[in-house]
Structure 1
Amino acid sequence: MITHRRRERAIAVALTGLAGYVDALGFMTLGGYFIAFMSGNTTRLGVGAVRSVSTAVVPAAVIILFVLGVVGGSLVNHRVGAHRRAVVMGLVTLLLALSGVCQRVDFFWGAIVCMALAMGAENTVFERNGEVSLGVTYMTGTLVKLGQRLTSVLLGGDRWAWAWYFLLWVGLLAGTVLGSLAYLHFALDSLWFAVALGVGLTGLLLWWAPASD
């Protein structure tokens, strides 16, 4: 996180907000399964496999779709030169828009598929040498780094390096709250707010962060 430029960090916080927003929509739609948080789905998969195989099907399917989304985003990163971050973000936005279209035509599972693919691809927006340099849909690692940076403060290190990790967590939390509120009023039609944010982030990535690393 702290090795990225400040404007890239700001975009990463917005991406975590988008992930939290979409994850809340998925969680409320699927009745307790996640669209972006695969650690939670892995737990649901394990528990479901023991209690009832049928309850393991949804988390298993979402995990597979998420991984396929990561593969798609990584392939774009490898095949596109400059502005690859914006192109990946454009792919995420397109998938979210397709999800919204599926919702409008009452193709429920099509919407879920596109949401899961989008969340996998979103994690590859910031990629270096084939590895994700900024994960935006999972917070366990971020909270670990937050704790390490706070420890560094106690030992006389940089007093503010922890703040960006905290903001990543706040971004996800804020997105989840907004997604939950939107779902209560608009159900899955709330996806179009996510599409609008995706369009804005694609534009910012074109302008601010063309991806030279």
Structure 2
Amino acid sequence: MTTDSTDPADASGPPAPDPEARGVRLLVVLLVLTVVSGLIDAVSFLGLGRVFTANMTGNVVVLGFAAAGAAGFSVAHTVTSLFCFLAGATAGGRMAVRFEGRSRRTWARTTLAVEAVLVGASAVWALAAPGRNGTTYALIALTAFAMGLRNATVRKLGVPDLTTTVLTMTLTGLAADSPLVGSGRGRAVRRVCAVLAMLLGATLGAWLVVHHNLWIPLLVAALASGVLAVVASGRE
């Protein structure tokens, strides 16, 4: 009598590829989104009345300036941005609950697709109705909602040092974990890349706003988010 000595694990063949790993890693995706944030804030601050729609830390400070009567700042613009950002973050939180326990890849791509649509709509609006009543508020609302949605998603994804919109803690970590304090265990390369990505986006966005038109950096931002919606993976 003979017995089959084949190991069942060998018979099953090689493990199936992880669908979450297909595409561009989240680390790269979030760095590109940091560039996009720089573009968006360049548009909003330079072209929409000195208001931020991605960086809410700056917006709270701007609201204080406006409330104190400082020239060049608008309470109405800033409140609109804050409200729409919070609405977007709420939508992002609800989406996180819906995707809980499901594919991070699908979740990230869905959020990025919505962001691309919202920012793309703002680009079309800026091109079609420049200077019209309501255009400034529409662009603030669309971009702030998109950034709130994205920020809620990035927070839930939990990739360290890559919030895509705020660099205060990233810069703090870069200094506090540096060899100068006897540490050197920090994620220095990642943090430096995040800072450079924001600087690149802000520089490019400012140049396009100053020398061309608002709709161009908005279109660039929408296209970047749209491409990432197609290629993002679910892995860091």
Q: Structure 2-normalised TM-score?
A: 0.76
Query: Residue type matched to 1:142 in 2?
Result: T
Task: Find out whether 1:66 has 2:85 as its counterpart.
Answer: yes
- Distance in 1 of aligned mates of 2:187 and 2:77: 38
Q: Deviations over 1:84-108 (max 9, x none)?
A: 0111111111110121222233151
The answer for the alignment partner of 2:234 in structure 1 is: 209
2:174 maps to which of 120, 129, 146 = 146
Matches within 5 A, 1:90-109: 90-106=113-129, 108=135, 109=137
Selected match of 2:94 from 58, 72, 75: 75
Cα shift at 1:24: 0.4
**Aligned residue in 2 for 1:184:** 210
Q: More helix by proportion, 1 or 2?
A: 1
User: Which string of whole-angstrom CA distances, capped at 9 and with x for unpartnered residues, describes residues 75-132 of structure 1?
Assistant: 2222133210111111111110121222233151222210111111221333438x78
Post-superposition offset of 1:8: 2.0
Question: Which entry has the higher C-alpha Rg, 1 or 2?
Answer: 2
Q: Which moved more, 1:120-129 or 1:140-149?
A: 120-129
Distance 2:57 2:170 in 1: 14
- Residues 201 and 128 of structure 1, relative CA distance in 2, 3 Å threshold: same
Q: 1:111-163: per-residue Cα shift (whole Å, max 9, x none)?
A: 2210111111221333438x786411111121112122215x642543x6211
Distance 1:104 1:162, change over 3 A: same
Q: Which residue identity does 1:78 align to in structure 2?
A: V
Structure 2 residue 199 is matched with structure 1 residue 199: no
Conservation of the 8 A alpha-carbon contact between 1:84 and 1:210: no
Whether 2:148 is the aligned partner of 1:123: answer no
Does the C-alpha gap of structure 1 residues 200 and 136 become closer, same or farther in structure 2, counting only changes over 3 Å?
Answer: same
Structure 2: gaps of 5 or more residues? 1-20
1:152-193, Cα deviation, whole Å (9 max, x unpaired): x642543x6211011111101100011111223431221111
1:6-64 Cα distance to aligned partner (Å, 9 max, x none)? 93222111110010011101111123221211111111211222227x83222122111
Distance 2:139 2:80 in 1: 14
For the aligned residue pairs, the C-alpha RMSD in angstroms reads 2.6
Q: Kindly, what percent of the aligned residue pairs are identical? A: 23
